[in-house]
Amino acid sequence: MSVNILTEDTLARLSGFVEKRMGLHFPREKWSDLDKGVLLACREAEGGAPEAFADRLLTGLATREHLEMLAAELTVGETYFFREPKAFDAFRDLVLPDIIGRNKDGERRLKIWSAACSTGEEPYTAAMILKDALPDGAGWKHTLLATDINVRSLKKAAAGVYSKWSFRGVPDEIRERHFEKKDGGRFELHGGIKDMVTFSTLNLIEDGYPSVLNNTNAMDVIFCRNVLMYFSREDIKNTARKLYRSLREGGWLITGQAELVEEYFQDFERVSAGQAVIYRKTSGKKAAARAVFPAPPETKKPAGSAMPPAAVARPRPAAPLPAARPLPAERDAYKEAEALYGQGRYEEAGKALEELPPARRGEAAALALLARIRANQGRLADAALSCRKAIAADDLNPLYYYLLSAVLTEQGLPAEAADALRKVIYLDPGFVPAHYALGNLAARQGKRAEADRHFGRALLLLGKMSPGAPLPESGGLTAARLAAMIELAKKKEA
C-alpha cells in the first residue's frame, strides 16, 4: 500500500481547492491520485517540498503556470480520433442533417463546440465529418470552437501533429486523406481541417457562458464527453444547465456514453440515435425519450475501435423549465429581463423588455441587453441592429462597440468587426480584449504581422495587470488566462 507524501489535512484542503477551481472531484479514495499529481507538478515547477508547493496553491500565491501544471497532471489527456464512433455516427446521420434541414433557407450558419477537447482529436474528427457534409461552395458559414482547461493539451491540439496511437481503430483511409506523414512516425493534419477549429482555454466550472463575447452562445451542437465523470454531482448539474443555455432551440448535446445519468439532463429531451443516446434542447414540456432512427445490426469491429455500450437508465420525461413567477405591477421589467437572461430564458427575457415604457426601451442598457438576448437566440441581424441602436443612444461607451464587434464577427463580417474594435480602442486604449480580438481577426485573414502587433500590444497591457485581475466583458476571464490564450493563438499562427 502506497503512502501519500502530503498530509491528510493538506489533501482534504486540496481536494476542495481543485473542485472549486477546476471542477475536478477527488474524494478520499482518490487522494493518492491527487497526491501524485501535486508531486509531479511540483517537480516540473521547481522541485522543492511538495507541502510548500501545495501551500502556495491553497494560499493563492501560486503562479498561473503552477496552476496549469497541476491541471495538466490531474486531467486525463488520453484520447483518439473517432472515439466512441456511435456518437459520431449520430452526429453525422442525425444531428447534421437535422440542423442543415432546419437552416437551409435561413442564414446557413452552424456552430459547434467541443467543450473539453483535450489534445484536439474530438473537434478535428467533427471537422472532418462536417467538411464531408458541407462541401465547399455550399454557402454555409460554420464555427468550430474547442476549449479545455489544460493549456498543455491545447498547445498540442493547435499544432495538429499526432502519433499512430491517436488513430487506433481508425481506417487507414482517414489518415491518408487528412494527414501528411512526418518524421518519427508522426502525422500532421492538413491545413484545411486544422483551420476549421479555433482553440481557447475555458474552465467549465469557473468561466461565464453562454456569452457572445467568448463565442459560446447560440450553439447548434455541443460535445461535452468524458469530462463530467470527473466532476462532483453539483458541478455536473450546474454545467449541464449552462450548456443548455448555450444551445439554440433545437440544438444538440452529445455527452460520453458513460455519462448518461438522467438526473443531470432533465431540461433536455433524450433521443436514442442508433446505438447512441444524445440530448436535445426543446422548449416547454419535454417529450419522453424517442428513437429517431433504428439501431443498425451489431457488427464486430477491430479491437479498440469503440467503447462498449454503457448501461442506460430507463427513460422518463424531463421536467419543464419553471414558469416565470408573476411579479407585482410595480415590478422592474428590466431587472426581470436581466434575471430571465441569466437563466437562459431568452424568449421570456425579450418579452419582459417589451413591457418597458418606450423611453426606457430606447435606453442604451436595455438595447444592449436585447442585443445579447438576440445573439444567444442566434438572431444575429437583430442583435447587430440592437447594438447599433445602443451606440446611437450612448456613442462613448466602448462596451457597446465591443458587443457589436462580437456579433459582426459571428456574422462573418471581419472588416466591419475590426472597425468596431478600433472604435473600442479609440475610446479605451487599455481595453485588452479588443486588442486580442483584432489579433484573432488578422490571424484568420493570414495577416501575420498585423496579428503579431495586436497580440503584442495585448500582452504588453496584460503584463501591467495582476494575473488574477478580471477583464471587462470576458465572461470571467482573467489577465493570466488571456495571456495563455494569446500564446496559444500565436503558436497556431506560427
Please tell me whether the peptide bond between 210 and the residue prior to it is cis, using omega within 30 degrees of 0.
Answer: yes
Paired with 110 in beta bridges are 142
Listed in order, strand segments (DSSP E) in 244-360 are 247-255, 268-273, 276-281, 290-293
Return d(Cα 415, Cα 409) in angstroms, integer.
9
Give the other-Cβ count within 10 Å of 473's Cβ: 19
Q: Tell me how far CA of residue 441 lies from CA of 419, 444, 448, in angstroms.
A: 11, 5, 10
Using DSSP bridges, classify how beta strands 276-281 and 268-273 pair: parallel, antiparallel or unpaired.
antiparallel
Taken in order 156, 160, 164, 170, is the CA torsion positive or negative? positive
Using DSSP bridges, classify how beta strands 109-114 and 268-273 pair: parallel, antiparallel or unpaired.
unpaired
Q: Are 396 and 427 in contact (CB under 8 A)?
A: yes
| Helix or strand run (H / E) with residue 29 | none
- Name the maximum alpha-carbon separation found in the chain: 72
**pLDDT per residue as tens, the chain (494 positions):** 456 788 888 889 888 888 877 767 788 888 888 888 888 888 877 667 888 888 888 887 777 677 777 877 776 666 889 988 999 999 999 999 999 988 877 778 899 999 999 899 999 999 999 998 886 656 788 899 999 988 888 888 999 999 988 998 888 899 999 999 998 889 999 988 999 999 988 889 877 888 887 889 899 999 999 888 778 888 889 999 999 999 998 999 999 887 777 888 988 999 998 888 999 998 754 444 444 544 444 433 333 333 333 333 333 333 343 344 343 334 588 999 998 888 778 889 999 999 999 888 899 999 999 999 999 888 899 999 999 999 999 999 999 999 999 999 988 899 999 999 999 999 999 999 999 999 989 988 889 899 999 999 999 999 999 877 888 777 677 788 788 788 877 766 55
